Amino acid sequence: MKVLTCDAEPVLLAAIEFRLRKYGLEIIQTKRKDAHKAIEQHRPDMLIIDTESNPAASLKLLQEVKTNARNAFPVIIASVIEDEEELWAALRAGAEDFITKPFKPIELVLRVRRLLNALELKKVDGGMGK
């Protein structure tokens, strides 16, 4: 399965990649401005958006991704949430989960695995006509 990370800082990205690759996940990184192109090209199973550098632009990207029916994948927001309204706006815009920075890499791994497992179950149930 593929996880696309958007605008993650280098240290965070290294931790994400190291942990998630251990679980057999492919990690693709992109800048926010190239996110739509990367989504079309790689067809990820999940998107992680780091909002720290520009929360408003990250929220806009989340809204755009969620309004496109072809992008039926979960999104996790990674942010230093200082403003509760930013968190609520992200959840209202369709983010399935969030993680507050700084976080332990295993915490992100658990959240990613939970969402991807739910996605796999949905695919299996859908394929069986349930």
User: Could you read off the pLDDT of 41-74 as tens digits, one per residue?
Assistant: 999 999 999 988 888 999 999 999 998 867 789 9
Q: How far is CA 2 from the centre of its chain?
A: 10
Which letter does DSSP use for residue 90 in this model? H
Collapsing DSSP to helix, strand or coil, 75 comes out as: strand
Taking only the tens place, the pLDDT of each residue in 16-45 is 888 889 888 999 999 999 999 999 999 999
